[in-house]
Amino acid sequence: MKKIILSVILAFSAAMPAFASSDGIPLDKAPNRLNDLGALQNGAKLFVNYCLNCHSAAYMRFNRLTDIGLTEQQIKDNLLFTTDKVGETMKVSMDPKQAKDWFGGTPPDLTVIARSRSGAGGSGADYLYTYLRTYYRDDSKATGWNNLAFPNVGMPHVLWELQGQRAPVYEEIESHGHTTHVFKGWKQITPGQLTSTQYDSEVADLVNYMQWMSEPAQGTRVRVGVWVMLYLLIFFVIAWRLNAAYWKDIR
Amino acid sequence: MAEFKDISPNAPVADKALNWIDNRFPLSKLFKEHMSEYYAPKNFNFLYFFGVLSMLVLVIQILTGIFLVMHYKPDAASAFASVEYIMRDVPWGWLIRYMHSTGASAFFVVVYMHMFRGLIYGSYRKPRELVWLFGCAIFLALMGEAFMGYLLPWGQMSYWGAQVIVNLFSAIPFIGPDLALLIRGDYVVGDATLNRFFSFHVIAVPLVLLGLVVAHIIALHEVGSNNPDGVEIKANKDANGIPLDGIPFHPYYSVHDIMGVIGFLLVFCAIIFFAPEFGGYFLEYNNFIPADPLKTPLHIAPVWYFTPYYSMLRAITSEMMYALIVCVLAAAYLGVTRAKLNSLLKGLVIGGAVLLVALMLAIDAKFWGVVVMGGAVIILFFLPWLDNCAVKSIRYRPDWHVYLYVIFVIDFFVLGYLGMQPPSPIGERISQVGSLFYFGFFLLMPWWSRMGETKPVPERVNFQPH
Amino acid sequence: MSDNTVDTEKRTWLIASSCAGAVGAGAVAVPFISAFSPSERAKAAGAAVEVDISAIKPGEKLTVEWRGKPVWIIRRTPEQLEALKKVEGQLADPESKRKPAELTPEYARNQARSIKPEFFVGVGICSHLGCSPSDKFQMGPQPSLPDDWQGGFLCPCHGSTFDMAGRVYKNKPAPDNLEVPPHMYLSETRLLIGEDKKA
């Protein structure tokens, strides 16, 4: 009977992870560069240059970037845009009224955005990777841009100079008596400074940085965890033998 | 009054110290009564770890909670930021936070397993009814504690989960809206709500929990533990009055429980260090967005441990009310025709049923959903008086009883799973059937538990030496 | 008692368990006790302060905040530096021998109590009960000050006086000289308060 219960439990634990708010297109998988310090540093540079003008990352301290291999001097020389002290956080003060005028609302804080966007469709990095690569020109929008992963987003395509301007190409498919528009691919309207592969790689660096930024302790967590598990396994064996040493008395 | 014992001045220091204490505080006496001379059945199995594991998780939550409160700010404007402060700026704060969030879910896993053990082995039967009642009270307090704790990070799920559940109270006729106002301290969930939930979560409910746990263990030790065979070990004692199938808790179960604790910690630490979010079940993704009173997330679901009850709440639609009315009428009919009642009582049954049906038609299904959800927990309190089976343990029940229990467990899981999904027509049907089964299992137990051929219960427990 | 082999086995595993348990308990204690120490936010708030001293004119004082305390940077005139020698006899601790580790770092153990004689850097908190002394740079007779006053500070709370190197006068309520905080020069015009070369 216990076997039945156990198998039922196992069947359910194989179920999908908890859903998040994922509508829109299926997500591309972002390359995993969380262990690539160079990629993370490049991502930090992109983040500070392109994102911190409007968004804040109010829980991220500049000097925490030493965790990804930068020295405080490097941080001060290259990345300290919004403040003068390396111990400060990445706050940006945008006036909420102006933000509402320009974008329809205050740009959200990005410190833990990667964690908040995880879901059944993919990790937060996957979402951000898809999002930053599916912008297209749309003159019906105030910013002139729309996005496949986040339709009608209020944010413009900040990285457009790198990617260039694109438009999605749809194919009309007749099925079951009605027509559906199926996304087929992209058309490059004007070229960007980077090729498609280069752009994808830059975005990968950026989203990996954001994934790291949403939990800077993750590296330590896993490293400490390995030791803890080893210790507990040894301790378990000891506890098991201790138990056996006493219970052999019981008849 | 115990005698004041003198001890030889030449005795070792440790003995003299212990004697000094024992003359003023029953330390050795308590140790003997509850550990070294408390005789527990020797045939405990895996399910019997979960009591001590519940205590362990309680201690973990209190310890980590104390350290979290040193840095957490219970203010709507700074709560979310203070949690990130703990995660980033406080040395090892991330570990303490993960221990607390995983501990919350672990608490329910462990408590559900502990209750399951009680359910299948009849640990709630006479003379252990009070142990069970204290336990049900602990379960209720734990649900309240978890619910209030969940508001504290002030994320989107925290906020909207609290908003929805507090609004449930407003469904109660007449007093509902005022009651909800009193709970919230404001017209919507806000800073006032956060502050009072903080007070309850940190001190009020933990004190209640500790008191109930102490009562629970004292009641247990008074009557002695049950065992998987449901055999009363006190029925067979040796010449010294020690149960033949009993072994002293210390050292046998203290050592056994150490092994169980380490095994638990292996799983607990694996989650904390390698998957603290646990697929979004232990730390929900939406909760990494600060609470926004103006925007509800697309899918709100309660935390996984509340979802079976949430399913039952959602199952009570106006359609379902008709099914329930039929049940009430059927129960009244059976009561009047089958039971040996005098005319007055029969009259009361009919009158009561008519009144209940009238209320069920008059008051919104929303309210009855709340009643059903609450009732699903309250019905557990009545279990000792619902079970009329001749045997305690599932091992000696008729086979079809066993299948009923299996279906009950599957039902609970299915209801839990459905509670996590967005509503759907099929989901609704299944949860309605599931809820009916859940209540039928308990409410009809006085009759079905009496039926069938039980297997002969042994005099002595089944035990394989190892 | 049971025979020796059973005894030994239990003892072995008891010792092993106790050792493992002690190691575990110690390891678990580390994160909890560390959580008491100053957080990154506290450390950032207490971080060193960089000051541009190029705009201070001789005889002027600039006040900056470091770790919640006022730190004075005074550009002393040649007369004020001369005056330091004249008042030695009236001071309680002219050579800053008292509590040197707390009050006077090595590079300030000189007559001017500073790295550069021209610039005095000191915490503006009276060593009596914590008030901030007022500037009394003007020499000569003034209310509450002696007739041969050579310039310095007067604490308004209980009347303690200090010279232009923060040294306390004799027979005053304050027992000690003003604290010279750790500091260093990053360049001719940039002073860093809160860190020194040894740190």
Tell me if ipTM is over 0.85: yes
B92 touches chain C (CB under 8 A): yes
Cα angle A177, A181, A183 (rounded to 5 degrees) comes to: 140
Q: What phi and psi values does residue B378 have, to the nearest 5 degrees?
A: -65, -35
Q: Is the pLDDT of residue B15 over 90?
A: yes
Token pair listed for B192:
């006032």
Q: Which amino acid is at B311?
A: S
Q: What is the pLDDT of residue A18?
A: 41
**Sheet with C183-185, edge to edge strand ranges:** C49-52, C190-193, C183-185
A63 touches chain B (CB under 8 A): no
What span, in angstroms and rounded, lies between the C-alpha atoms of C59 and C74?
Answer: 7
The answer for C 3-62 residues in CB contact with A (under 8 A) is: 6, 9-10, 12-14, 16-17, 20-21, 23-24, 27, 40, 43-45, 47
B244 touches chain A (CB under 8 A): no
Classify each residue of A112-136 as buried b or exposed e, where b means 16 or more C-beta atoms within 10 Å of its C-beta: bbbbbbbbebbbbbbbbbbbbbbbb
Size of chain A in residues:
251
Pairing relationship of beta strands B39-41 and C161-163 according to DSSP bridges:
unpaired
The pLDDT tens digits of the residues spanning A220-249 come to: 999 999 999 999 999 999 999 999 999 998
Burial (Cβ within 10 Å: 0-12, 13-18, ≥19) of residue A154:
middle
What span, in angstroms and rounded, lies between the C-alpha atoms of A191 and A164?
Answer: 5
* Residue carrying the six token digits 């990790």: A123
Q: Is the pLDDT of residue C100 over 90?
A: no
Of C31, C32, C39, the CB nearest to B89: C39
Interface contact flag, B285 A18, Cβ < 8 Å: yes
pLDDT band at residue A5, thresholds of 50, 70 and 90?
low
The overall average pLDDT reported for chain A is 87
Q: What is the DSSP string of A129-191?
A: HHHTT-EEE-TTSTTSEEESSSTT-SS--TTHHHHEEEEEEEEEEEETTEEEEEEEEEEEEEE
Tell which residue, B118, B453, B295, has the closest CA to residue B286. Answer: B295
Q: What is the pLDDT of residue B7?
A: 87
What span, in angstroms and rounded, lies between the C-alpha atoms of A128 and A106?
Answer: 19
Q: Which of A88, A221, A235 to mutate to test the interface with C (most CBs of C within 10 A)?
A: A235
Q: What is the pLDDT of residue C47?
A: 86
pLDDT band at residue B334, thresholds of 50, 70 and 90?
confident
The DSSP call for residue B252 is I
What span, in angstroms and rounded, lies between the C-alpha atoms of A39 and B349?
Answer: 75
Interface contact flag, C10 A242, Cβ < 8 Å: yes
pLDDT band at residue A184, thresholds of 50, 70 and 90?
confident
What is the least distance, in Å, from the CA of A115 to any CA of chain B? 6
What span, in angstroms and rounded, lies between the C-alpha atoms of B53 and B282?
Answer: 19
Chain A residues whose C-beta is within 8 A of a chain C C-beta are 61, 63-64, 85, 87-88, 231, 234-235, 238-239, 241-242, 245-246, 248-249
What is the least distance, in Å, from the CA of B360 to any CA of chain A? 35
Q: What is the pLDDT of residue B46?
A: 96
Q: H/E element holding B374?
A: helix B365-378
Q: Which amino acid is at A204?
A: A
Of C6, C16, C47, the CB nearest to A238: C16
C33 touches chain B (CB under 8 A): no
Tell which residue, C171, C169, C172, has the closest CA to residue C158. Answer: C172
Token pair listed for B108:
């329910």
Q: What is the crossing angle of helices B93-121 and B79-88, to 10°? A: 100
Tell which residue, C106, C93, C68, has the closest CA to residue C183. Answer: C106
B273 touches chain A (CB under 8 A): yes
Q: Is the pLDDT of residue A24 over 80?
A: no
Name which residue leads in pLDDT, A42 or A104: A42
Q: Which amino acid is at A49?
A: N
The pLDDT tens digits of the residues spanning B81-135 come to: 999 999 999 999 999 999 999 999 999 999 999 999 999 999 999 999 999 999 9
Q: Is the pLDDT of residue C4 over 60?
A: no
What span, in angstroms and rounded, lies between the C-alpha atoms of B93 and B403?
Answer: 47
Question: How confident is the model over B274-293, as a mean pLDDT?
Answer: 95
C186 touches chain A (CB under 8 A): no
- Interface size between A and C, measured as CB pairs under 8 A: 44
* Residues of chain B neighbouring C37 (CB-CB closer than 8 A): 91
Strand partners, C174: none
Q: Which of C11, C19, C32 to mutate to test the interface with B (most CBs of B within 10 A)?
A: C32
pLDDT band at residue B220, thresholds of 50, 70 and 90?
very high
pLDDT band at residue A3, thresholds of 50, 70 and 90?
low
What span, in angstroms and rounded, lies between the C-alpha atoms of C45 and C174?
Answer: 29
